[in-house]
Structure 1
Amino acid sequence: MMMDLDMVALFEAELLLCKVGPDQTVAVLSEGQVRADYAQAFLVAAQRLGAPAFHLNLPSVPSVGPLHQVGRTPLAGNRAAIEALKMADIVIDLMGLLFSQEQNEITATGTRMLLVWEPFSVLRDLFPTTDLRRRVEHGETMLGSARELRVTSPHGTDIRYRIGQYPVMTEYGYTDQPGRWDHFPSGFLLTQGDDGAVDGRVVLMPGDIINAFRRYIQSPVTLTVEGGMVTTIEGDGMDAALLRQYMDSFGDPRAYAVSHIGWGLNERANWHHFAATRELDNEIGVHALAFYGNVLFSTGPNTELGGTNDTACHLDMPLRGCSLYLDGQLIVEDGRILPPDMRAPARPVAA
């Protein structure tokens, strides 16, 4: 396999942000031939930093049931592989363990984990910075002390979350703390509403995104939420029908649970990305999840925050032009970040 030196250099810089050095063991986890170039480049990058490294490659398992099932991977039930990963200081996850019991078991031992999934162009263009981390962690402090989160929009969204039962999760693109998971690249934060304590409605409007579909909403959709569950999905266009049919296809009522809520802080992430790329099948869609000022509304599993809902149906729905309040304090106003310590630096004006 030809080695991409630019890829090795970028991954070496990423491992440095993660404080990898000669005293750190790096495990690279992959399946089949998926991201084989990433696996080799990370191993070389670790070697250049003097860090012991090993590659754990598992056979791919054919998918069963609906596509985009989360939390179900070839690592499930493989005790030898799980125990080997626990011995590493950091796991580079090229498989996609998010929402899995295996991820939680591994990070609970103090091993940190970095999910790497996006195309190389996205990794390069959204490479994390220490300033992004600072701004995300400022948001973490504010969100962690709040007890109510409210989201509104001019189109009729008005939903309230009682919060505090679950922790705040930050994603800024690297991890240097024991047991911490992150996604390279990233740039947002989130939490989960208290069990049964999310009520209101969310109105999806044209331009909002359903990440699992790699699709922009074309027609209004109204989701009614009662006691933390989506009880109705209403709309005259195809989007409402797609949502209903997709969620029904899992045959799991927990698919309708409201999951995490948060907002995006990455000023280099582009709302228009899905419309401008041909690499949709190879990415989760960090541009959509992290673009500056979005409100990230999600349904489905909550195991990443310590909950018990492990349904395989997960829908991230980044919303544009919404306002978000913490205990009545306006944090995001119509898609604009208000707290000075969370605002992105101004982009230089071209001469």
Structure 2
Amino acid sequence: MNRTMFNALCLEQLKLSAVNEAETLAVLTRGDERADYVDSFLWAAQQLGAQAFHLRLPAPMDTEAAWKVGDIGLASNPLALEALKSVDMVIDCALMLFSLEQLAIQEAGTRILTAIDPMSTLAKLFPTTELRERVELSQQYLAKARSLRFTNAFGTDVTYRLGAYPAMAEYGYTDTPGRWDNWGCGFAFTGAYDDGVDGTIVLAPGDIVHPFNKYVQSPVKFTIESGFIVDIRGVDGHTSLDADMIRAFIEGFDDPRGFGMSHVGWGLDERAQWYLMREDPSVIGVETRSFYGNVMISTGPNNELGGPNDTPCHLDIPMRDCSLYLDDELILDAGALVPADLRPTSHQ
């Protein structure tokens, strides 16, 4: 995408996010990543009369940093942290999600927008007010529920006991003090009680494992008891390379909290396609997290919801063709949203 087009998108993004001449905006990066994003956001802020600056952190020394969450170097850089807490909005191009520092910035009243994925994806999934309405309605459905159960044809049958943590909405922009969002996302989610997930989840071929950014090739069975995965294996006695990789990844952190279950929710963006994954560990993968009708499970940290688990071991797994119930009400039927108010016009 050429610079002029992305400049225009950043300007419209900042307008949606209510940036104005009375505000200050910071663009956060690390190393030499996304320098072109910085220029576009700074230009857009100038057009709106806002004061803006670029805060660039050193590149990570850890070569495996892309696989960990919660630490981009702010913990050891209090001056940088205070600078980010002092502004009205941060454009996060470094991914500080799940960090204590992000929570501190939000508590200071600063709103945060993550912009990590390729420009072409951000353009394709540019946020709309109509998507926001359906995401916020989904958030309301989750907030009212006390149980969530989902199944699939491969043997999944798992129940989440809800009510401990808030329901969250991601619709791609943020105009509320202290709120975080992620440009390109369109889904709602919540978390169970820390000991409130029990049952079986079976990943099917074509389901997606982030941050591997890989499609599952052979079924993977998770056995979950009291909120923790206690077994990962293939099904019907078959070996599964996918199961071995997931198990080894979690064990590699030497942190038993990595086996904890985190958030769960569903995707709502009909423009996103499950088959268009980018095999690039430096991007989030908003398209494959947001595609319409997926059920996405997460493992590891739940501190973004207010929980105690801040392990750096994190997996997001969008699953296709699942049926999902809230308090026994059918919400998703084999990957299709049932309530009419959650469906886009093209699916009604």
Common fold: TM-score over 0.5: yes
Q: State the TM-score, normalizing by the size of structure 1.
A: 0.95
Give deviations 1:65-114, integer Å, cap 9, x for gaps.
67510001121221111111111111000110000000000001111000
Rounded to whole Å, the distance in 1 between the matches of 2:93 and 2:64 is 22
Structure 1 residue 24: Cα displacement: 1.6
Deviation (angstroms), 1:61: 2.2
The alignment's TM-score, normalised by the length of structure 2, stands at 0.96
Q: How far 1:31 sits from its partner (Å)?
A: 1.2
- In the other structure, the counterpart of 2:58 is 59
Q: Deviations over 1:293-324 (max 9, x none)?
A: 00001101111111111111100110000011
Structure 1 SS opposite 2:346: coil
Q: Residue 261 of structure 2 corresponds to which residue in structure 1?
A: 258
Secondary structure at the residue paired with 1:309? Answer: coil
Residue aligning to 1:152: 151
Amino acid at match of 1:238: L
Name which of structure 1's ranges 234-243 and 96-105 shifts more when overlaid on structure 2.
Answer: 234-243
In 2, distance between residues paired with 1:338 and 1:310?
Answer: 34
CA contact (8 A) 2:145 2:162 kept: yes
In the alignment, structure 1 residue 244 sits paired with structure 2 residue 247? yes
1:293 corresponds to which residue? 293
Alignment of 1:31-110 (within 5 A): 31-63=30-62, 67-110=66-109
Which residue matches 1:193?
Answer: 192
Partner Cα separation in structure 1 for residue 63 and residue 288 of structure 2: 27
Q: Deviations over 1:15-70 (max 9, x none)?
A: 00001111121111111211011011100110011111111111112116675100
Aligned residues: 343
Where 1:199 maps in the other structure, the secondary structure is strand
| Kept after mapping to 2: 8 A contact 1:266/1:291 | yes
Tell me how far apart the structure 1 counterparts of residues 6 and 229 of structure 2 sit (CA, whole Å). 42
Measured in 2, the distance between the counterparts of 1:104 and 1:98 equals 9
CA distance in 2 between counterparts of 1:219 and 1:40 reads 43
CA contact (8 A) 2:136 2:169 kept: yes
Query: How many Å separate the matches in 2 of 1:67 and 1:313?
Result: 11
Quick one: which amino acid aligns to residue 192 of structure 1? Answer: G
How far apart in 2 are the matches of 1:137 and 1:95? 26
Whether 2:333 is the aligned partner of 1:333: answer yes
For 1:7, the equivalent position in structure 2 comes to 6
Q: Quick one: distance in 2 between partners of 1:215 and 1:201?
A: 21
Q: Distance in 1 between matches of 2:220 and 2:281?
A: 25
Equivalent position of 1:129 in the other structure: 128
Question: Cα distance 1:324–1:56, how it changes in 2: closer, same or farther (>3 A)?
Answer: same
State the Cα RMSD in Å: 1.4
Residue type of the alignment partner of 1:112: R
**Aligned equivalent of 1:269:** 272
Segments of 4+ moved more than 6 angstroms: none
Q: Return closer, same or farther for 1:76/1:299 CA change in 2, 3 Å cut-off.
A: same
Q: Which runs of 5+ in 2 are unaligned?
A: none
Secondary structure at the aligned position of 2:158 is classed as strand
Q: Is the 8 A contact 2:66 2:282 kept in 1?
A: no
Measured against aligned partners, the alpha-carbon deviations of 1:145-193 in whole angstroms (never above 9, x if no partner) come to: 1100111112110000111110111100000011000000110011111
Determine helix, strand or coil for the equivalent of 1:179. coil
Over residues 115-156 of structure 1, what are the superposed CA-to-partner deviations in whole Å (9 max), with x where a residue is unaligned?
Answer: 010000100011010000000000111110110011111211
Return the alpha-carbon distance in structure 2 between the equivalents of residues 28 and 151 of structure 1. Answer: 39
Q: Which residue in 2 is equivalent to 1:345?
A: 345
For the Cα contact (< 8 Å) 2:31–2:60, is it kept in 1?
A: no
Q: Which 10-residue stretch deviates more, 59-68 or 155-164?
A: 59-68
Is contact 2:98-2:310 (8 Å) kept? yes
What residue in structure 2 maps to residue 311 of structure 1?
311
How far residue 347 of structure 1 moved from its aligned partner, in angstroms, is: 7.5
SS of residue matched to 1:56: strand
Deviation at 1:282, TM superposition (A): 3.8
Secondary structure at 2:72 match in 1: coil
Q: Which letter maps to 1:197?
A: G
Where 2:199 maps in the other structure, the secondary structure is strand
Q: Percent identity?
A: 50
Partner Cα distance (1:195, 1:307) in 2 = 8
In 1: Cα distance, 2:77 partner to 2:15 partner: 30
Q: Secondary structure at the match of 2:211?
A: helix
Answer whether contact 1:66 1:250 (CA < 8 A) is retained. Answer: no
Q: What are the ranges of 5 or more consecutive residues in structure 1 without an aligned counterpart?
A: none
SS at match of 1:12: helix
